[in-house]
Amino acid sequence: MERGIYAPEHIDLADTLRAFLAENVVPNMEAWEEDGLVPRDLYRRVADLGVLGIQVPAEYGGAGETSFLFNCVVTEQIAYSRATLGSLRVHTDVVMPYVMKYATEEQRRRWLPGMASADVMTAIAMTEPGTGSDLAGMATAARRTDGGWLLNGAKTFITGGAQADLVIVVARTSRAAERRGGLSLLAVEDGAPGFTRGRMLKKLGLLTQDTSELFFDDVFVPDADLLGEEGRAFEYLAGNLAQERLSIAVNAQAQAVAALEVTTRYVREREVFGKSLSSFQNTKFVLADLETQISAGQVFVDRAIAEHERGALSAADAAKAKLFCTELQGRVVDACLQLHGGYGYTREFDICRLYADARVSRIYGGTSEVMKSIIAKSMGL
């Protein structure tokens, strides 16, 4: 089906990215997975294409685009190439919107040019060892001191945490009657006394993504590094969740497309019992079913993108898109690996990476169970 959501400028960006990824990323994936991160120089080269600064206003060194469609193109092309680019999507789709919306003019001038050029890579530190999805129950806290706060606590599962120059930390700055109150966003720069990084976590998938533990021991955060207003972090986080979950849905859908593509190619080339694997009825039926499910997912996610573009994507509809597309991704990669047989369980085949990378989609950005709770609440249940 024709998608119809992209204009010529989006197609041009897709073509440029496809060529860049094929030449500069795909051949290096195995080495980067061994290292557990994407080299900093790669982020700078992506920035030179204008990707990091797409939505950064021109006065801060960006392109000044307001459409999220460009971000979707970037997400899809990376997925179609069967690659991962570390913390890039967190930098552009998660952290940057908070800076763009809540930073003061002084903060914008200080941070945005570097964020657009990759001189300042970012992370956001929400999850704690004992809280998981319960952000309101976080223990990381900052107490008032002369000229700012003293920050103490620990964070885990922080994407980009090993290389980030600037970390937006969600911390409790006051004890409000409402559990969701009293949380603030504090920007901590690399090298701040008392700020240390723990181990890079060894994960099942997303091996180029430096996922780390972070520790804060009386880290001084000046007043000038409070992002937005004190005590309003939960409101800010909730305000961007629809876009964050849409980004995950777009990626999950594109990963499913990639899995089907590599599997269709594989079954045509693979011979079993003297015949092409693609000639077996079971193979045809499995792939036909996956193609139909993926087509339905594409219509769903494209509708969600269109709703987001006009500012009408609700929290519940974003949750539906994430739930549907990530669950779809899981089914697709599982069926596709099965068709690869034993070879699919080896990392020399793309489906192995796609399978391993897919599992976390139903966890981060809110688990599938959390998505179902949000959807049920929107139904009055």
Q: Is 26 within 8 Å of 82 (Cβ atoms)?
A: yes
Active site residue 327: no
The CA-based angle 211-41-29, given to 5 degrees, is 60
3-state secondary structure 299-314: HHHHHHHHHHHCCCCC
Residue type at 298 in one-letter notation: Q
User: How many CB atoms within 10 Å of residue 226?
Assistant: 20
pLDDT at 175: 78
d(CA 354, CA 290): 15
Q: Is 340 within 8 Å of 351 (Cβ atoms)?
A: yes
Using CA atoms, how far residue 250 sits from 77, 256, 257, 297, in Å, is: 11, 10, 11, 10
Q: Is 204 within 8 Å of 356 (Cβ atoms)?
A: yes
Query: Annotated catalytic residue: which of 33, 76, 213, 244?
Result: 244
Which pairing describes strands 122-125 and 166-172: parallel, antiparallel, or unpaired? parallel
Q: Please name the helix (run of DSSP H) or strand (run of DSSP E) that holds residue 124, with its range, or none.
A: strand 122-125
pLDDT at 179: 66
Q: At what angle do helices 69-80 and 281-309 cross, to 10 degrees?
A: 160
pLDDT at 209: 93
What pTM did the predictor assign? 0.94
Cross-strand bridge partners of residue 125: 169
Q: What does the DSSP 8-state code read for residue 214? A: E
Residue 369 CB contacts under 8 Å (≥ 6 apart), including other chains: none
- Joined tokens for residue 174: 């006051």
Residue numbers in the chain where pLDDT is lower than 50: none
Residue type at 262 in one-letter notation: V
Using CA atoms, how far residue 99 sits from 14, 91, 95, in Å, is: 26, 11, 7
pLDDT in tens, 101-155: 999 999 999 999 999 999 999 999 999 987 766 676 788 999 999 999 999 999 9
Distance of CA 95 to the CA centre of its chain: 10
pLDDT at 78: 97
d(CA 32, CA 277): 32
SS3 assignment, position 294:
helix
pLDDT at 176: 67
First-to-last C-alpha distance (Å) of the chain:
35
